[in-house]
Structure 1
């Protein structure tokens, strides 16, 4: 019969393994919607700012920066909000 201390250690290792597995799945699982692709504002060099209703992305001289989505946001189609020079 396992002692309480052995059981606590087993539970701690199980929780740690679950956390590691969750992080790895989140890191390596393919995204359900991408930031770039054919016909998307990210692929259009003239689009300076676009949004999917959850995140806002802006094109800068050295790359693209996007905001974090809200906790309960459901993304829609990406639309260009502002073109270069506007």
Structure 2
């Protein structure tokens, strides 16, 4: 095995390979992100965003989906809200 005469030259060669590898990895990630279908697109972020949820609440407020939009109750003065959850689904 031959020993390189200049270690700096060997280091520069490795730096180039590392830079190209990182660039290829970033390009592949961006390309896959653009081409693969978004699985989370159909999942609502909260019950308020889910059209199938007719009524939702957090333990302090209750909101109901009406034809005019959402209508929510006012929270009590000493209420500590919990996790937002669907209380009643549309059609059942």
TM-score between both structures, scaled by the size of structure 1 = 0.55
Q: Equivalents in 1 of 2:75, 2:46: separation in Å?
A: 18
Question: Which ranges of 4 or more aligned residues in structure 1 deviate by more than 4 Å?
Answer: none
Q: Give the alignment's Cα RMSD to 1 decimal.
A: 0.9
Instruction: Please state which structure has a larger fraction of its residues in helix.
Output: 2
| Residue 17 (structure 2) aligns with | none
User: Which runs of 5 or more residues in structure 2 are unaligned?
Assistant: 1-43
1:77 pairs with 2:83? yes
Kindly name which structure, 1 or 2, has the bigger radius of gyration based on alpha carbons: 2
TM-score between both structures, scaled by the size of structure 2 = 0.51
Q: Equivalents in 2 of 1:57, 1:64: separation in Å?
A: 6
User: Which runs of 5 or more residues in structure 1 are unaligned?
Assistant: 1-37
